[in-house]
Amino acid sequence: MTAELRNLAASLALPPMLLLAAALVLALLGWRGWRRASLLGAFAVAAVLLLATPFAAGLLAASLDRATPMPADAPEPAAIVILGAEAARGTAGPDIGPLTLERLRAGAALHRRLGLPILVTGGPIAPEGRPLAALMAESLAADFGVSARWIEPAARDTRDNARLAAALLRAGGIGAAHVVTHAWHMPRAVEAFARESFPARPAPVRRLRLPDARPSDWVPRPDHLAMSWFALREWAGRIVYALRDGR
């Protein structure tokens, strides 16, 4: 299954699409005479509105922002791994998406601070499309004046990111690395590297403020609905990985 199809499946199987689909079905049942269906449909719509609030999005993101630190006896990181997120359609063709750009910016800043070489990882988003890692390397050079030493163009998901990046770095004599990804994605990323017995030091991007129930935390916003979806998708991914690996 391609990354595009996986994202489509996740969109349909998780809130808010799952809740909106349920609300639509319940509305039809209410129209056909099942009185309780209308009430249940209203609850489904209310749940979508709740997920769109900074309060719900912040709590979901905070539940994931707890990546396990590197073991005390792990070697010092000697490289920076930037995980790809998504691609977009630019004016000249395929381009990196906004989440990927945020990770590249953070990785470039870390490179300037530490002077460590960079590995970018990400396979094709669509069939016969260009690897995301190639687009990332081009953006690093053009937008930040930084060159990627390694380009890993085949990873289909986070597990592949870790497996293939670890293999490339070990071949170069590197036994640990800083991993750059969003804070809500970091636990799954670090767990994936741990399965490869490759120490990864978290370098999280964009931590959200922990909500404190101020009035503005209860005002729904589309960007916070997206954040809730990302967080729910991460929890689903972690559960799938745990069931698949038996831990």
Q: How far apart are CA 183 and CA 202, in angstroms?
A: 9
What architecture does CATH give domain 80-205? 3-Layer(aba) Sandwich (3.40)
Taking Cα atoms as reference points, which of 66, 77, 86 lies closest to residue 204?
Answer: 66
Domain residue spans in the chain?
7-64+221-245, 80-205
Q: Which stretch of 12-16, 146-150, 161-165, 225-229 has the lowest confidence by average pLDDT?
A: 12-16
Q: What is the mean pLDDT of the chain?
A: 87
pLDDT recorded at residue 83: 98
Taking Cα atoms as reference points, which of 31, 67, 29, 78 lies closest to residue 184?
Answer: 67
Q: Residue 93 pairs with which residues in a beta bridge?
A: 90
> How confident is the model over 134-143, as a mean pLDDT?
97
For 190-221, write each residue's pLDDT tens digit.
999 999 999 999 999 987 777 888 899 899 99
With the CA atoms of 152, 135, 206 and 57 taken in that order, what torsion angle do they form, in degrees rounded to the nearest 10?
-100
Q: How far apart are CA 33 and CA 24, in angstroms?
A: 14
145: left (phi over 0), alpha (psi -120 to 50) or beta: left
pLDDT recorded at residue 69: 64
Neighbours of 31 (CB within 10 A): 10
> How confident is the model over 168-173, as a mean pLDDT?
97
pLDDT recorded at residue 78: 97
For 13-47, write each residue's pLDDT tens digit.
667 777 777 878 878 888 777 778 877 888 888 88
pLDDT recorded at residue 137: 98
Six token digits for residue 174: 């590197």
Six token digits for residue 76: 């010092």
Q: How far apart are CA 247 and CA 241, in angstroms?
A: 8
Please tell me the chain's helix, strand, coil percentages from 3-state DSSP, rounded to the nearest 5.
55, 15, 30
The helix or strand, by DSSP H or E, that contains position 9, with its residue range, turns out to be helix 3-13
Q: How far apart are CA 186 and CA 66, in angstroms?
A: 8
* Beta strand spans in 103-172 (E): 118-121, 150-152
124 DSSP 8-state letter = B
Neighbours of 179 (CB within 10 A): 31
